[in-house]
């Protein structure tokens, strides 16, 4: 399986997966909503500048500085939230570029018997958690409204390249991570398959942190 293992954005933000030009876009650098403000008061909504990383000649933070902080906290940076928001809503063409990336990859591995399928996005971070918490309470919510349309476009590119491949698609990992505290599970928000009725070529890839 080919996995776009994107955890926390771009190398310039102590992350991996996306190229640095994503970080050069117009990203938010402030915690300007209610949840963001609450996190800021708790000392958790830090910006890139707040971390004051030392940087190498290419402008990337030194890995030894990055590793001083638990990687999960980098998800809470306003720059990370802003980056994911641009991806899901195709602001400044970010989703278009992401889909084109998968077009190239799926063509490259078409008819390769050692590749069974692709996972477009590892643990997709819900950028709207602070701007619109209601998405996690409504039927369908973030998975159905934000992820499914993007997955549908990517799935079509996979099928155009090689119809024998599978798409392993994921929902946001937050609901199960929260439910893990009392030891429970939350249902995912997908109301149907991203690629329509082609059930034999789509696999729900669940990440759960219970137990």
Percent of the chain at pLDDT exceeding 70: 78
Number of folded domains that form the chain: 1
Q: What would the mean pLDDT of 169-174 be, rounded to a whole number?
A: 84
Rounded to two decimals, the pTM is 0.86
Q: How far is CA 66 from CA 4, 38, 73, 81, 89, in A?
A: 21, 24, 11, 18, 28
Return the SS3 of 95.
Answer: helix
Model pLDDT for residues 25-60, shown as the tens digit of each residue: 788 877 776 666 666 666 677 889 999 999 999 999
The parent domain of residue 177 ranges over 2-204
Return the SS3 of 53.
Answer: coil
Higher confidence at residue 15 or residue 178? 15
Q: How far is CA 91 from CA 24, 34, 115, 177, in A?
A: 13, 23, 31, 28
Task: Please indicate, yes or no, if residue 209 is contained in any of the structural domains.
Answer: no
Task: Please indicate, yes or no, if residue 185 is contained in any of the structural domains.
Answer: yes
Distance CA 93, CA 84 (A): 12
Return the SS3 of 118.
Answer: strand
Task: Please indicate, yes or no, if residue 179 is contained in any of the structural domains.
Answer: yes
Q: What's the pLDDT band for 167 if we cut at 50, 70, 90? A: very high
On whether the CB atoms of residues 195 and 159 are closer than 8 A, the answer is yes
The whole-angstrom distance between residue 138's C-alpha and the CA centroid of its chain comes to: 20
CATH no. for residue 16?
3.20.20.80
* Residue 111, number of CB atoms within 10 A of its CB: 9
pLDDT, residue 129, reads: 67
Task: Please indicate, yes or no, if residue 211 is contained in any of the structural domains.
Answer: no
Q: What's the pLDDT band for 8 if we cut at 50, 70, 90? A: low
Q: What's the pLDDT band for 23 if we cut at 50, 70, 90? A: confident
Window from 49-63, 146-160, 174-188, 191-205 with minimum mean pLDDT: 174-188
């Amino acid at each position: 399986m080919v996995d776009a293992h994107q955890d926390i954005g771009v190398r310039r933000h102590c992350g991996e997966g996306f190229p640095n030009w994503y970080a050069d876009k117009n990203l938010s650098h402030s915690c300007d909503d209610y949840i963001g403000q609450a996190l800021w008061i708790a000392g958790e909504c830090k910006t890139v500048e707040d971390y004051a990383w030392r940087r190498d000649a290419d402008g990337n933070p030194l890995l030894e500085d990055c590793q001083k902080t638990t990687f999960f906290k980098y998800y809470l940076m306003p720059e990370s939230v802003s980056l994911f928001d641009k991806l899901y809503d195709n602001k400044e063409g970010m989703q278009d570029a992401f889909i084109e990336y998968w077009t190239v990859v799926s063509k490259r591995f078409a008819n390769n018997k050692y590749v069974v399928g692709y996972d477009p996005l590892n643990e997709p971070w819900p950028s709207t958690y602070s701007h619109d918490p209601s998405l996690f309470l409504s039927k369908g919510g973030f998975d159905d409204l934000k992820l499914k349309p993007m997955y549908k476009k990517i799935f079509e590119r996979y099928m155009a390249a090689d119809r024998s491949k599978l798409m392993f698609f994921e929902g946001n990992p937050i609901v199960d991570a929260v439910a893990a505290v009392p030891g429970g599970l939350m249902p995912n928000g997908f109301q149907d398959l991203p690629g329509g009725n082609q059930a034999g070529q789509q696999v729900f890839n669940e990440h759960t942190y219970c137990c």
